[in-house]
Amino acid sequence: MASITFRGTPIHTVGNLPAKGSKCPDFKLTADDLSDVTLEQFAGKKKIISIVPSLDTGVCQVSARRFNAEVGKHTDTVLLNISADLPFAQKRFCDSEKLGHITNLSTMRSPNFGTTFGVRIEDGPLAGLMSRAVLVLSADNTIVYTQQVPEIGQEPDYDTALAALAKA
């Protein structure tokens, strides 16, 4: 269980992020066209997995914009932005912001994702949502970087994640 904070108050996740050096667990999530999407569909590409509580919050929006801009510089990389938001809301945000390098994925039909990845918040006002976390995967889905952001209202460490991506 990860111990993180929300506005300075301790909250906890159901577990811990998958370990650096391990293979990323597969998943089946929902895309904005309501299709099922699996990790395997991005075979051969490096991946940034940005897990956020909700794209309806400012920090999640800033993070989406920043990672979108960075991934746009890499033809061999995809950005998977994962939240519990409905696919319609995810699409509406990205369309309004003209964020063309994001693949939004919703956990709406896959509540086990948060448990498998150790990011489902167990207690506090955000219980049931996911914590803010970043994983960087090599093209063969080996996890080369993880960050469980310690405070929900804090942005991830973009520079370290992008440095890991460059080495993947």
- CATH number of the domain at 130, please: 3.40.30.10
Q: How far apart are CA 66 and CA 83, in angstroms?
A: 17
Those residues of the chain that have pLDDT short of 70 are none
Phi/psi at 50 (5° precision): -105, 110
Residue 99: count of CB within 10 angstroms of its CB: 20
Q: Which two tokens stand for residue 168?
A: 């993947």
* Contact in structure between 158 and 69 (CB atoms under 8 Å): no
pLDDT confidence of residue 3: 82
Q: Is 60 a catalytic residue?
A: yes
Q: Choosing from 4, 11, 60, 133, which is the catalytic residue?
A: 60
Report if pTM > 0.85.
yes
Alpha helices in 30-101 (DSSP H): 58-71, 87-97
* Contact in structure between 38 and 141 (CB atoms under 8 Å): no
The whole domain housing 109 covers: 3-167
Residue 101: count of CB within 10 angstroms of its CB: 18
Beta bridge partners of 145: 136
pLDDT confidence of residue 27: 97
pLDDT confidence of residue 26: 96
pLDDT digit string (tens) for 20-59? 999 999 999 999 999 999 999 999 999 999 999 999 999 9
Tell me how many domains the chain contains.
1
Nearest to 114 by CA among 10, 6, 15, 4: 15
